[in-house]
Structure 1
Amino acid sequence: MDSIAVLLTCHNRKHQTLQCLEALSKAALPEDYNLDLYLVDDGSTDGTGSAVEKEFPDVTVIQGSGDLFWNQGMRMAWKTAAETKEFDFYLWLNDDTILDKDGLVQILNAYGEAKKIEQNEVLITAACRAIYGENNFSYGGRNEAGPVIPNGELKTCKYINGNVVLISKIIFKKIGNLSNDYTHGMGDFDYGLRAAKNGFQSYTTKNYVATCPPNGRIPSWCNPEVAIIKRWKAFHSPLDLNITEYNKFRKKFWGNRWIIFSLKAYLKMLSPSMYIKLSKN
Structure 2
Amino acid sequence: MLYIVIPVFNRLAYTRACLDALRRQTNQQFRTVVVDDGSTDGTAEALARDYPEVTVLPGTGQLFWTAGVNLGLRYALGEGADRLMTMNNDVEAAPDFVARMLHWAARQPEALLGALELDIKTQQPVYGGEQFSWLTHRSRELLPLLAPPQQRGLHAVSYLPGRGLLIPARVVAAIGLFDEKRLPHYLADYDYTTVARRHGFPVYLNYDARLLTYPEESGQEQTRKQRTLRGYAEHLFGIRGGGNLRNFTHFALKNCPPLLLPTFLLNGYARRLGGYFLH
- Give TM class, smaller chain: 0.7 to 0.9
Shift of 1:175: 1.5
Residue in 1 that maps onto 2:2? 4
Identity fraction in percent: 24
Superposition map of 1:1-281 within 5 A: 3-29=1-27, 34-83=29-78, 85-113=79-107, 115=108, 121-131=110-120, 134-138=123-127, 141-144=129-132, 145-149=139-143, 151-180=151-180, 181-215=182-216, 226-228=227-229, 230-240=231-241, 241-256=243-258, 257-272=260-275
- Give the 3 Å change call, closer, same or farther, for CA 220–125 of structure 1 in structure 2: closer
Shift of 1:253: 0.6
Residue in 1 that maps onto 2:146? none
TM (normalized to structure 1)?
A: 0.83
- Give the 3 Å change call, closer, same or farther, for CA 132–154 of structure 1 in structure 2: farther
Contact 1:222–1:269 (CA under 8 A) maintained in structure 2? no
Cα distance in 1 for residues equivalent to 2:88 and 2:228: 31
- Give the 3 Å change call, closer, same or farther, for CA 136–122 of structure 1 in structure 2: same
- Give the 3 Å change call, closer, same or farther, for CA 265–15 of structure 1 in structure 2: same
Q: Which amino acid aligns with 1:6?
A: I
Shift of 1:167: 1.2
Cα distance in 1 for residues equivalent to 2:46 and 2:95: 23
Q: Which amino acid aligns with 2:114?
A: T
SS at match of 1:53: helix
User: Any idea what the Cα deviations from partners look like across 1:20-73, whole Å, max 9, x if unmatched?
Assistant: 00100110117xxx3222111111110112111111112111111112221121
User: Any idea what the Cα deviations from partners look like across 1:82-103, whole Å, max 9, x if unmatched?
Assistant: 23x2211111111111011111
Contact 1:137–1:147 (CA under 8 A) maintained in structure 2? no
Q: Which amino acid aligns with 2:129?
A: G
SS at match of 1:267: helix
Range with greater deviation from structure 2 (209-218 or 100-109): 209-218
Cα distance in 2 for residues equivalent to 1:275 and 1:128: 25
- Give the 3 Å change call, closer, same or farther, for CA 266–195 of structure 1 in structure 2: closer
Residue in 2 that maps onto 1:279? none
Contact 2:236–2:273 (CA under 8 A) maintained in structure 1? no
TM (normalized to structure 2)?
A: 0.84
SS at match of 2:216: coil
Contact 1:9–1:42 (CA under 8 A) maintained in structure 2? yes
